[in-house]
Amino acid sequence: MKFGTSVTAIAGTVLAASALSLSIPGSASAGGYGCSGSLRKTYAVKSKWNTISHVKVYYNSSSGWNCAVNVKTKYYSQFKHKASIWLYNQTLAEDNVHEGVNTDSDSGKFKYYAGPVKVKGRNMCISFVADTWYYDEHAHLYKAGILCG
């Protein structure tokens, strides 16, 4: 009788732990988009008529890196359509291009979001360009010299 009771107790504990691990999202990425750090700001990417997506910019203070994603709104994430995000910092120049250090981009046909893209950001400003399409509807946003620090 004691053996059966302890097996039942262990099984119950394992089941409870499994349910808990399924309900808590991992902390390895902020918001589940592959960016670590804290959300700094969210920007609406609008077409002439609607907000099609949002750019979410994160900053990891321990590493000094910025990260951004272009996340489609719920209505516009029904199908795969073109989306892009280009992130760069103030050191980017015609003769100073270092992919993955001072510039990073992602583009293609995505259902949910483009990115993540990452650049160094400690003690400097960043800029981004985001585009999102939904059939013939196009949304574009350009922000320069933002989130300096």
Spell out the domain ranges in the chain: 29-146
The pLDDT assigned to 123 comes to: 94
The pLDDT assigned to 31 comes to: 61
pLDDT tier, 99 (very low <50, low <70, confident <90, very high otherwise): confident
Sequence-ordered list of residues with C-beta below 8 angstroms from that of 56, at least 6 positions apart, any chain: 31, 33, 35, 39, 41, 42, 68, 69, 71
pLDDT tier, 30 (very low <50, low <70, confident <90, very high otherwise): low
pLDDT higher than threshold 70 for residue 11: no
33 near 115, Cβ under 8 Å? yes
pLDDT higher than threshold 90 for residue 12: no
79 near 133, Cβ under 8 Å? no
pLDDT higher than threshold 80 for residue 129: yes
Any idea which residue has 């103030």 for tokens?
Answer: 90
pLDDT tier, 32 (very low <50, low <70, confident <90, very high otherwise): confident
Higher pLDDT: 40 or 7? It is 40
What fold is seen in the domain 29-146?
A: Immunoglobulin-like (2.60.40)
pLDDT tier, 25 (very low <50, low <70, confident <90, very high otherwise): very low
The pLDDT assigned to 75 comes to: 94
Residues forming a β-bridge with 143: 128
> What digits encode the pLDDT tens for the residues 71-97?
999 999 999 999 999 999 998 876 777
Q: What is the 3-state secondary structure (H, E, C) of the chain?
A: CHHHHHHHHHHHHHHHHHHHHHHCCCCCCECCCCECCEEEEEEEEECCCCEEEEEEEEEECCCCEEEEEEEECCHHHCCCEEEEEEEEECCCECCECCECCCEEEEEEEECCEEEEEEEECCCCCEEEEEEEEECCEEEEEEEEEECCC
The pLDDT assigned to 92 comes to: 85
The pLDDT assigned to 79 comes to: 93
| Alpha-carbon gap, residue 101 to 65, rounded angstroms | 9
